[in-house]
Structures are given as structure tokens and as C-alpha cells.
């Protein structure tokens, strides 16, 4: 019988000031267990949130059923997902009642963000007494405990404050975070690719002052240079397939480093007539979000975490999208009052966001994981806490579910649920697929159906 000592799953490359976790390698599976390799791949849960609602007629397919056999092509906003039609399901009819006023008056954007992963109507306040619920990502992170280095990652492409009055008497905490560790503790998102990279791969004793870290980086070597000796030693013990995987992984990390540095230089030299990004953030939105998607892919592939949230922008975002010829603020355009010119611009923004998400889908589908890919072993929700941004509707929310969840999901369909089906039912179901024995979340009434039917 062939015997060899398996490489520990949590093997890392080490150097002075950096550690680099490894992707899943064949050498991490004992020889006698190679046939069970697929069972070694964990399930992951990711939420990608877009603000200010979506032009729903350009999002929702006309009929339910298998996406491949729909009588028409995917709606305009979802056209970028056409290459992934067998990897996604479009879910219609889901509602967050907690996003509605329920007697509290204006503040739909704040309620949309706060209720999205909690299913809870937040307390209307902009003081220290904020209160929502524990979000699905944090319930999963708590259950997973110490199985990964990071219980969860909370990322974004737009910085947001967690204090102050942002929406008609609601705290900025509600509209600037979708992740809640406790009902009174929102998780701040990290919008800087550099800071996210350093958190994932840097030393734990980095100076907390960003200015000091910036000076240090002028003299620091690449994280790969720091761990290169350890990488060479490990490579000499691996078979040819694993050596190729290791080389590809190290190349991808170095490429992310290079692109972060390039984006920082671009931001420093942005023309004066353009809106200058916040310190440490790329000036180009496409660079920014794709760096975040790259970091998310690496974090999932190396099992640094299995739970990630990304806010494409915060609720009430007034970002302009000159990349696609839209110079007006996003949020303002969504209050279009039926103006076809404004509706067209919002539609272009919605589609532009989906185009970036398609980039993430491609990364997940191309990244090997066990006997499949990361997309095979993930559940990725793309959506918003508001449907029609002009009317501030919280029913029939735009919801796309990608991936196969380690065999727990059967994608490739447009599923319509009865009106007022709580979206919290979807959150509860995903938690169950993550192995979390939750009985309820927010206003859930039970697990959702039709996600794993053939």
C-alpha cells in the first residue's frame, strides 16, 4: 500500500513580516484518501450588494423555468451573465418587510442595508442606540469558529461612516454596512485593496498608522520576495501538478500586488477635473472592484475565510460612472420620476455593475478547488435591498444566486416565489447549507424551496 505524509491543510509560506497561505494542493490529501478529494473542499458563502435599487423590467426574465430554454435572451441588465447561465439562478418574489417604513417614515436606503442580511427592521435613530439584527454572514462566521484564519471578510468599494445621520434620522451605520456582528455592532467594511491585502498576507505587527505603513512600503520587498526561500523549499517536495498550482498561485498574488501599486500611483496622478478618490483607494472603479474580487478569490481559494460580503457601493451612493458616460450621481438618477433619459442611465449603471460581477464569476469558475472549481463549492448572492429605486420598493427584490454550493444547489433556472416570501428564508437555507443549525433568522418562516431541484 502506498503511504506518504500529507501536507497540512493550513501550511503557510513564512518570511520576516509576511505569511502566505496556500491553495488546496494534492499533497494535502493522504494517498489512501485521494478518491475522497471532493469531500475536502468546503462550502463558501458570499454576498455582493449593490445600492439604490435596479431597473426591474431590465432585470427580470419574462417567464420562469430553465434559463437556457427561456423564450428570449436574458434581460439587458443581466446579459453579461449569459456565459454563466448554467451557473446561476434568478430568484423572483423575495421580500424584506423589515426594509419598509412600518410607521417610521422615510429612510428606505438605511433600512435596505440594515435588513438585507438580518431580516430585521432597524431602530430609527442616529445616536449610539442603533439596533438591527445579527446578519447571516456573521452567524455563519460564528459557527465556523476557528476553522479559518478569518471568520469573515467585510469589503467594499466605497468608504462609509458608522456614525451620524445619513438617511432621514437613521444612522449611517445602517446604510454603510450590511454585516452585523451583534444587533448593535455593525462590521466596518474595508475599502482599501492595500489594507485588505496586508490583512490577508502581511505581518500581524504592522504599524496601525497608514502614513507609517506607506513609508515602510518604500523599503519593503514584495510579500513574495519575503517568502521566496520557503516557497522554493516547498516546491522541491511537490509533484509536478502541485508545483504548477503553486507557481500559478504565486504569480496571481504578485500580479495583485503589482496592480494595487499601479492603482495607487494612478490615483495620485489623477487629473484635477476628476473626483479625487479617498486616500488609499484606486481612482478607477473597474480597477478597484476587480482588485477586490481578486482578493476575494485568493482568500477563498486558500481557505483564509469561507464567508465574505462586498458592498459595491454604500446605500445612497452618489458615485458617478464616467467610465460608461454617466456624469450624474447614481442615487439622484434613481429618483427619475419616469424620465426615460434618467432610467436609461440607471440601467447602464446596473448593467455595468453586473459586468464587474461577471469578472468575479469567471475567476471563481477558473480557480481549481478539489475535484471542481471554487464556483462549484460556493453560494454567491448578488442583489440589492431595494427593487425599484424610484419607488423604494422592498418586495420582489433583485436576487441572483450563483454556484453549486458543493452539490447543494441546482442552478440554471429562473424561480418565482409567491408574493411576500421572506428573503430571510433564503438566508436561512444558505445557513443550513453552510452547516449552521439555525432555526430562524429575522422574519424567516422556514427554508426556501426549489434551490436543489433537478
Clarify whether residues 337 and 447 are in a common domain.
yes
Under the banding of pLDDT at 50, 70 and 90, the label for residue 243 is confident
Clarify whether residues 8 and 110 are in a common domain.
no
CA distance 328 to 99: 26
In a domain, 266, yes or no: yes
Mean pLDDT of 107-127: 98
- The total domain count for the chain is 2
Clarify whether residues 174 and 214 are in a common domain.
no
Task: Read off φ and ψ for residue 14, nearest 5 degrees.
Answer: -120, 150
pLDDT at 38: 43
pLDDT tens for 193-214 read: 999 998 888 754 445 555 555 5
Clarify whether residues 391 and 452 are in a common domain.
yes
In a domain, 286, yes or no: no
Clarify whether residues 15 and 142 are in a common domain.
no
In a domain, 64, yes or no: yes
Clarify whether residues 50 and 186 are in a common domain.
yes
In a domain, 394, yes or no: yes
End-to-end C-alpha distance for the chain, whole angstroms: 40
CATH code assigned at 318: 3.40.720
Clarify whether residues 83 and 214 are in a common domain.
no
Range list of H helices, 72-135: 108-116
How is residue 8 written as a grid cell? 497540512
In a domain, 298, yes or no: no
Question: Which residue do the cell numbers 463558501 mark?
Answer: 44
In a domain, 301, yes or no: no
Q: Is 434 a residue whose pLDDT tops 50?
A: yes
**If you average pLDDT over every residue of the chain, what do you get?**
88
In a domain, 55, yes or no: yes
Clarify whether residues 91 and 165 are in a common domain.
yes
CA distance 454 to 452: 7
Residue where one domain finishes, among candidates 280, 298, 331: 280
Clarify whether residues 264 and 392 are in a common domain.
no
Who has greater pLDDT, 259 or 404? 404
Under the banding of pLDDT at 50, 70 and 90, the label for residue 269 is low
pLDDT tens for 83-99 read: 999 999 999 999 999 99
pLDDT at 2: 38
180 close to 138: Cβ distance less than 8 angstroms: yes
- Radius of gyration over every alpha carbon of the chain, rounded to an integer in angstroms: 22
Clarify whether residues 180 and 261 are in a common domain.
no
Task: Read off φ and ψ for residue 419, nearest 5 degrees.
Answer: -50, 140
The rounded percent of the chain whose pLDDT value lies above 90 is 66
pTM: 0.88
Clarify whether residues 317 and 444 are in a common domain.
yes
Other Cβ atoms closer than 10 A to 316: 23
Q: Is 215 a residue whose pLDDT tops 50?
A: no
CA distance 275 to 318: 12
pLDDT at 118: 98
pLDDT at 204: 46
Domain hosting 431: range is 46-191+307-454
pLDDT tens for 375-416 read: 999 999 999 999 999 999 999 999 999 999 999 999 999 999
Q: DSSP of 187-255, one letter per residue?
A: PPPB--HHHHHHHHHB-TT--S-HHHHHHHHTTPPPHHHHHHHHHHHHHTTS-HHHHHHHHHHHHHHHH
Clarify whether residues 27 and 114 are in a common domain.
no
In a domain, 167, yes or no: yes
Amino acid at each position: 500500500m502506498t503511504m506518504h505524509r500529507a501536507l497540512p491543510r493550513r501550511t503557510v509560506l513564512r518570511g520576516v513580516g509576511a505569511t502566505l497561505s496556500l491553495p488546496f494542493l494534492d499533497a494535502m490529501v493522504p494517498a489512501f484518501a485521494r478518491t475522497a478529494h471532493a469531500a475536502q473542499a468546503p462550502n463558501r458563502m458570499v454576498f455582493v450588494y449593490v445600492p439604490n435599487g435596479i431597473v426591474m423590467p431590465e432585470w427580470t426574465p419574462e417567464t420562469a423555468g430553465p434559463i437556457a430554454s427561456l423564450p428570449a435572451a436574458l434581460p439587458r441588465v443581466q446579459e453579461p451573465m449569459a456565459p454563466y447561465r448554467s451557473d446561476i439562478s434568478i430568484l423572483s418574489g423575495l421580500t424584506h418587510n423589515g426594509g419598509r417604513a412600518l410607521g417610521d417614515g422615510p429612510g428606505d436606503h438605511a433600512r435596505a442595508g440594515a435588513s438585507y442580511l438580518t431580516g430585521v427592521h432597524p431602530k430609527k435613530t442616529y445616536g449610539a442606540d442603533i439596533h438591527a439584527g445579527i446578519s447571516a454572514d456573521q452567524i455563519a462566521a460564528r459557527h465556523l469558529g476557528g476553522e479559518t484564519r478569518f471568520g469573515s471578510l467585510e469589503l467594499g468599494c466605497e468608504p462609509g461612516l458608522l456614525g451620524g445621520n445619513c438617511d432621514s434620522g437613521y444612522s449611517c451605520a445602517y446604510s454603510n454596512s450590511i454585516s452585523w456582528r451583534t444587533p448593535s455592532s455593525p462590521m466596518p467594511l474595508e475599502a482599501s485593496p492595500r489594507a485588505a491585502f496586508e490583512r490577508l498576507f502581511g505581518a500581524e505587527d504592522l504599524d496601525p498608522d497608514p502614513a507609517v505603513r506607506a513609508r515602510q512600503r518604500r523599503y519593503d520587498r514584495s510579500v513574495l520576495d519575503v517568502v521566496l526561500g520557503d516557497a522554493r523549499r516547498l516546491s522541491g517536495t511537490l509533484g509536478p501538478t502541485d508545483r504548477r498550482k503553486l507557481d500559478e498561485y504565486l504569480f496571481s498574488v504578485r500580479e495583485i500586488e503589482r496592480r494595487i501599486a499601479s492603482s495607487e500611483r494612478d490615483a495620485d496622478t489623477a487629473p484635477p477635473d476628476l473626483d479625487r478618490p479617498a486616500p488609499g483607494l484606486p481612482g478607477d472603479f473597474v480597477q478597484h472592484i476587480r482588485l477586490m474580487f481578486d482578493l476575494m478569490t485568493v482568500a477563498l481559494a486558500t481557505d483564509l475565510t469561507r464567508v465574505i460580503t462586498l458592498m459595491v457601493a454604500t446605500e445612497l451612493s452618489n458615485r458617478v460612472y464616467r467610465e460608461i458616460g454617466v456624469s450624474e450621481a447614481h442615487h439622484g438618477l434613481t429618483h427619475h420620476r419616469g424620465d426615460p433619459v434618467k432610467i436609461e442611465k440607471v440601467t447602464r449603471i446596473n448593467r455595468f455593475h453586473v459586468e464587474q460581477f461577471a469578472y468575479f464569476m469567471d475567476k471563481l469558475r477558473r480557480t481549481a478547488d478539489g475535484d471542481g472549481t471554487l464556483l462549484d463549492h460556493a453560494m454567491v448572492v448578488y442583489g440589492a435591498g431595494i427593487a425599484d429605486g424610484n419607488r423604494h420598493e422592498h418586495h420582489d427584490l433583485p436576487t441572483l444566486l450563483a454556484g453549486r454550493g458543493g452539490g447543494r444547489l441546482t442552478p440554471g433556472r429562473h424561480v418565482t416565489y409567491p408574493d411576500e416570501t421572506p428573503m430571510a428564508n433564503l438566508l436561512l437555507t444558505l445557513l443550513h447549507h453552510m452547516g449552521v443549525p439555525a432555526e430562524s433568522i429575522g422574519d424567516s418562516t422556514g427554508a426556501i424551496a426549489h434551490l436543489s431541484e433537478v
